[in-house]
Each structure stands twice: as C-alpha cells, then as structure tokens.
Structure 1
C-alpha cells in the first residue's frame, strides 16, 4: 500500500508535543500530590488511588486504541486524545474533592494512553529503518516533560507566588498544560498521516493477532510489568516516599528525569553498540543499584542514587517497544500498544497495593491504636505531626526496598534474553538460504 506524501518532521514534532502533555501531567501531579492531600484532606491510600487512576485510564485507552488505530487512523486517534486532555486538565483545575480529582485524572490517563496508541505506531511507520533509536528520541519527551513539570512546581513554590486570579498555585501549574495541548491539537488537525506499518506491509489482521501468542512476545509483556513499575511508580511517588528523608525530594525526580532526557537523546550509539537486549540488561542492574541508594543513603548520596536510577530506567520503555517492533514486527500497532497497556496496568495495581501498604507501615510506626487520619490532619509542628513525619521517614525507604526486588528479577530475565537472542541469531545464520 502506497503511503501518502507526508511531512514526517512535523508529524514527529506533533507527536513529541502530545507526549509532552502526557509527561507534564506526571511531573506536575508528582509535585502537587502532597499539596492535594493537604488541601482535600486525603490519606496516602486515597492519593495512591488518584495517582493510580491515570494508570488505569492509560491501559484502557492504549489497548482499545491499538485495536482500532488501523481502522480509524492515527490522526483521528490523536485528535481524540487532545479532547480528553483538554477536558481532564480543566476538570483538575476546577476539582472540588476526591471524586472530581479521580475523574479528571482518569480522563487525563485515557488521553495519555490514546497518545501512545497513536504515536508509537506513527513513529515506527515514519522511521521504519531506525525504530528503536527514534522511539527513544520520541520518548525522551516523557522524562523531558516530567523534568519541565517538576521545575515549574519547584520554582513556583520557591518563588512563593500566591493565587493568580483567585486560582491556587497548584491550579495555575496544572493549567500550564493547556498550552502544548492546544498546539499539538492544531498541528494534528492540519497534517496528513500515513497508514500504520502493518497495514502498509499487507500483514493481515489475523496474522497480527496470532503473533501476539508468540512466546517471546508473552515474555516481553511480563518483563514490561517490571520495567514500567520500576520506572513509573518510583518516579511518581518520589515526593511522597522521600519527603521526610531529604529537603528536596522533587529535585531528586528532576535530576532523574534530566538524566533520562540526555540518555534517550544519545540512544543511537548506545543501542547500536549494545543491542536492545543488552541495553535492557545493563539498565536493570543500574536501576536496582539506584533504588538501593535512594532507600539506604542520606544527604548528597541520595542524589547520586537518583543519577544512577535515571541512567537505569532511561532506556526501559522505548527500548522495550523498539525490541518488539524490530523482532516481532507482525504484532503491529496492537503489539506495541499491548506492551504499553500492560506496563501501565501493572503500575496502577502496584500503586494501589503500595498505597495501602504505606498506610499500614505508617500505622505500625505510630502509637498503638493511633488514628492515621487524625495524625494526617494534625497541625504542623504538633507532636502528632512530628510523630507522623518520623513514621514517613522510616516507611518510605521500606517501600523502595520492596520495589528493589523487581529490577533484581529483571537482571536475571534480561540475561536470559541476551543468551536467547545470541542463540537465535546463530541459528538464523546457520539456516541455509533457500533458492
């Protein structure tokens, strides 16, 4: 099937801006999570559920989007994402409590998933000969947006800017996301889009769905659970977990995401030198070391941990997608989007479990029979508030220790993948070429 004449540079720019909105939502939400808890009197469990809601909407949208993108086209899917972003952002700004925050975060999650459902196959379609590298370049805007978002929150708070036009500071910070949303919506509306790579290649829908049963694809889906949790749970909860360990927990996230931006920007020589599976193995080892340092050090060493952790997770998401696109091309857009959906679904479940576990840890560290909500609502500087701060200081690293198990398991999984791919390559080389 002949592809229409397209401007792939402009399409790539529109895709990056759409992903920027996705990542800004993560960065700004991570920065205001504690503030939302204080303003609306929410427990850690409720905050965990709200944060997890974005991860529920994401897999729902990315899986459905992956199944329909070949039918309705990537352009319509991205325009739909723009609408969901606009509605979700405005609902967040005008939220009045738990349920409005829940709904607005769900809508933003759906928008984020729809962006991935359209843009991952789009990047693969317009850069067929350099998929893993260009997916890394595209996905650098995820940590890039978190980096920008956390800086917005940090400097806005440090500047002590009060309400603007009757809006609390956190509402202004959320409203910033409207700017790139409107820009990418405009770009998408005027550009021509290609069909997906699978459609262009003439691979049937049946072959695509049968390819999802390939054992290698199933293995990558399971590994995606771990890589997504390691990267996204840790980043989203940094402010909560380490707020009482360091004075600048948000700067830890900023440093981590800054490293990820640089790493993904330099992906081409790294991926070509080490191979995607080699990159994933080294990334897992660095991520494990980074989480260990985050949970077991204080002072400047915490920032060293963030640096190493950022180096570890920077290649996870795009390289997982690139590996599948290059080695399992018949899985098409559905394969890419099932990977993303599986990752976000795993993060959503893990966030809920860890939110409840965190509350339990806090309860265990407070006096017997203590009412956690009463301690949460206690005025700053009071004995109850100080006791809760000490409990959080101990509980945060324990959550990190639990999460540390995941990248350690991934080290063994990706070691097996490296060995398997070497064997597969040798088998392919030894197989006679038919006339």
Structure 2
C-alpha cells in the first residue's frame, strides 16, 4: 500500500483529537501534583500520620508505573486494537481514574487501608490513560503527516505545556485560594476526557506507517532487534527526559523555599515558553536537522539547570528558567520523530520503546533527585538531630533547604553536558556518512 494513501481526509480532526487527549494527560499530571498535599491531609493523615508522606509519594508513583506499562503494552498492539478504540479507552480511563480518586473516601467507608487502595487504583487508572494516550497519538500523528514528523509532533506536544499551564494556574488561583475543593480540581480532568471520547466516536482513524507499508506485526516486533542502531534512541531518551521532565516535577518542591515565589509558577512560565517554541520546530529542523537542533539545545539546558541551582529570587529564577526552557522544549517530541524517521519499520512499537525509556527515567531519576536533596539538607544542618531541631523554622532551616535545592539541580545539570557529547558524536557521524554518500 502506498504510504500517501494512509493520509485520511479527516486528518485535521484526527490531529485535534490527539491534541485534546494529550492536553487531558497534561492537565491530569498538573492537577494530581497540585492537590497531592490536600489528598494526603484529607485521606492519609487521619489514619497513618507517621507514614502519610511516603504513602502519597508512592501513590503518585503508581501513575508513572501505569504510564510505563500501558505504553509498552499498547504500542505494539495499536494497529491490532485500532487507534479509535485506544483513544476511547484512554478517555474512559481519564474519567474512571479521577472518579476513583474523588470517591475513595466514600468507597473506603472510613477504613484507611481500603481508602488508600482505591486511591491507588485511581492513580493507576490515570497512568493507564496517560500511557495509552502516548502510545496512540505519536504514531497516529506520524502517519497522517509523514513529510513533517518533527514539526507536527512538536506542535502536538506543545499542548503538554498548555495543559500544565491550565492545571498549574488553576491550582494556584482556584485551589490555593480556597475557591474550590481538591475534589473539584480532580473532577476537572474528566471534562476534556468526555469531549475527546465523544469526538473520537465520530471519526475513523488511520493505520500506522509500518502497517501501511506492509510491515507485518512480527516484522515490526523484531525490527528494533535487527537494527542495533535503534537502541541508541531509547538510551538518549532516558537522558533527555532526565533533563526535561524530572526537573519539571521537582521545581515546586525545591524552588518554593529558595526563590520567594511558588515553584509551580516557575513551571507555568517554562511551559508557556515551550508551548510557543514547539510551533517553530519544523522550520528549525529543516534548517539544522533534528540531531543538530537537539545538539544546540543541550547548551541552554545545562546553563539553565545550573542557574536554577543558585537562583535566590523570582528574577534569577525566571532568568534561569528561560534558559532551561529553551534548552528542553524540543527534546521529547523531536526524539520520537528522529527515531521514527530513521527506523520507520519499527512503527508504533519503536515509538513506544523510546517513550517507555522516558517513562522509566521519571520512575528512577526523580527519587534519586529527592535522595540527593535529602542528603544535602542533612549535611547542611549537621545531621539528622540538628535538622530535626530546625523544623520549627527560621533562617537556618531556609539555608539548609536552599543548599539542598542547589545540590539537587547541580547534579541533574550534568545530564545536558553528557547529551552534548552524545548528540555531537551522532551529528558528526551522520554528517560524515552523508558526505561519503
């Protein structure tokens, strides 16, 4: 079958369904993060006050686990199941997951263990929705825009920061001002999910590129193992995600204490820059190549992360965040497009493997950043007993937490430096191969 024949007449509608589903995932991520403290206070502190902090962190982690596993399972089965069904399934999970979170106190009937179990099931539901979304929208977008993968995937993923902006501002101006409850905030996730699922019911979705080109399911599954060069992209994706999403999840914890403004507002500002810049990825890729563009991005990413480590005011935080945003804004979608362009026979499975590596980075790297932070704050205070004495507040506690934030961001700032070397070597290798040809 000719590749061009897979481009449907309703490509625009399909693309905007993908946009809405990705926006819903970002909104879910942002709101879950924003109300996690309230969920801990309402559902866990009354029953398990000594371990409630660890428990809410574990509960949030279930969403990442659901994301990684569903991405790995759905990606190779996308054409078997059909993209329409997976979009509807993702939308349903974005409805059921938040509902379970909201209803967990009532369904738990006053039993803390049951309430926690239902809360975790709701988090898993949100993660399944997230991973199914990621497994679907990327190969579908690549299929309907085969000649502009980098540009269209970046425009698609511009709506991830858009969802972060809406969720983050809602958390600050609605929830933090006590205008609405945490249940209302979680319920907001279901609104775009309902619209997305209903819209998908009215459309027919294309098959992915590999299927359109006659690549069988077995050939697609074996393709990454027959092309050893493919595996450099999941490895690089682990590092790019560590430089982008891991610090993004950490800014509220680390920066709120040190820069004199809510850290979530720094993330909103970064997301606004990313939303705008991702619309320019196509022209930049055509000018510099995808690997060349990623190579250039590592420089402001490293500078930005280092500057975040020493930021001590709203002004310095925003300067640092600007550099970091320009550095990481293209990384996730451009990595997906770069892998798919070089290894199209890997199809949705290949895109899923690259995304899965990014999900694993979040699962493994974020706790390590937290561990560095915890060790540094104890070091600055002079030990556990000394730090416990600082818990009543004061300048000593502020200094300890500021030092911890500095050390955690300095540690992750090394990652873009490593990426500069990797992208530089890959760019030079591909350039020399083109010259020889």
Q: Normalising by structure 2, what TM-score? A: 0.88
Answer yes or no: is the 8 Å Cα contact 2:7–2:144 preserved in 1: no
What do residues 272-329 of structure 1 show as CA deviations (whole Å, max 9, x unaligned)?
Answer: 1111001111112211111111111222011111111111111001100110111111
In 1: Cα distance, 2:100 partner to 2:381 partner: 36
Matched, 1:161 2:164: no
Q: Offset of 1:63 from its aligned partner? A: 1.0
Matched, 1:222 2:240: no
Comparing both chains, which one has the higher relative contact order based on Cα–Cα distances under 8 Å and sequence gaps of 6 or more? Answer: 1
Matched, 1:141 2:153: no
Q: Secondary structure of the residue that 2:152 maps to in structure 1?
A: helix
What do residues 386-406 of structure 1 show as CA deviations (whole Å, max 9, x unaligned)?
Answer: 765543332122111111121
In 2: Cα distance, 1:116 partner to 1:330 partner: 19
Q: Would the alpha carbon gap of residues 189 and 341 (structure 1) be closer, same or farther in structure 2, given more than 3 Å must change? A: same
2:109 aligns with none
What do residues 379-433 of structure 1 show as CA deviations (whole Å, max 9, x unaligned)?
Answer: xxxx258765543332122111111121111111100111111122223xx3xxx
Q: 1:242 aligns with which of 255, 262, 265?
A: 255
1:183 aligns with 195
Answer yes or no: is the 8 Å Cα contact 1:52–1:349 preserved in 2: no
Q: Secondary structure of the residue that 1:244 maps to in structure 2?
A: coil
2:31 aligns with 28
Answer yes or no: is the 8 Å Cα contact 1:49–1:355 preserved in 2: no
Matched, 1:274 2:291: no
Answer yes or no: is the 8 Å Cα contact 1:50–1:101 preserved in 2: yes
Answer yes or no: is the 8 Å Cα contact 1:23–1:143 preserved in 2: yes
In 2: Cα distance, 1:6 partner to 1:194 partner: 10
RMSD: 2.4
Q: Secondary structure of the residue that 1:125 maps to in structure 2?
A: helix
Q: Secondary structure of the residue that 2:129 maps to in structure 1?
A: helix
Q: Would the alpha carbon gap of residues 211 and 5 (structure 1) be closer, same or farther in structure 2, given more than 3 Å must change? A: closer
Q: 1:408 aligns with which of 417, 420, 423?
A: 417
Answer yes or no: is the 8 Å Cα contact 2:68–2:359 preserved in 1: yes
Q: Would the alpha carbon gap of residues 18 and 33 (structure 1) be closer, same or farther in structure 2, given more than 3 Å must change? A: same
2:351 aligns with 336
2:103 aligns with 94
Contiguous gaps of at least 5 residues in structure 1: 431-435
1:211 aligns with 223
In 2: Cα distance, 1:120 partner to 1:228 partner: 16
Q: 1:202 aligns with which of 214, 217, 220?
A: 214
Q: Normalising by structure 1, what TM-score? A: 0.89
Answer yes or no: is the 8 Å Cα contact 1:4–1:193 preserved in 2: no
| Greater CA drift, 170-179 or 203-212 | 203-212
Query: Map of 1:379-394 to 2, 5 A cutoff?
Result: 383=392, 388-394=397-403
In 1: Cα distance, 2:400 partner to 2:211 partner: 55
Provide the aligned length of Structure 1 versus Structure 2: 416
Q: 1:52 aligns with which of 51, 61, 69?
A: 61
Q: Offset of 1:100 from its aligned partner? A: 4.3
Contiguous gaps of at least 5 residues in structure 2: 46-50, 106-114
Answer yes or no: is the 8 Å Cα contact 2:6–2:143 preserved in 1: no
Q: Would the alpha carbon gap of residues 209 and 93 (structure 1) be closer, same or farther in structure 2, given more than 3 Å must change? A: same
Q: Would the alpha carbon gap of residues 385 and 74 (structure 1) be closer, same or farther in structure 2, given more than 3 Å must change? A: farther
What do residues 148-189 of structure 1 show as CA deviations (whole Å, max 9, x unaligned)?
Answer: 11111122246x2345xxxx2x22222111110100010111
| Greater CA drift, 187-196 or 89-98 | 89-98
Q: Would the alpha carbon gap of residues 195 and 244 (structure 1) be closer, same or farther in structure 2, given more than 3 Å must change? A: same
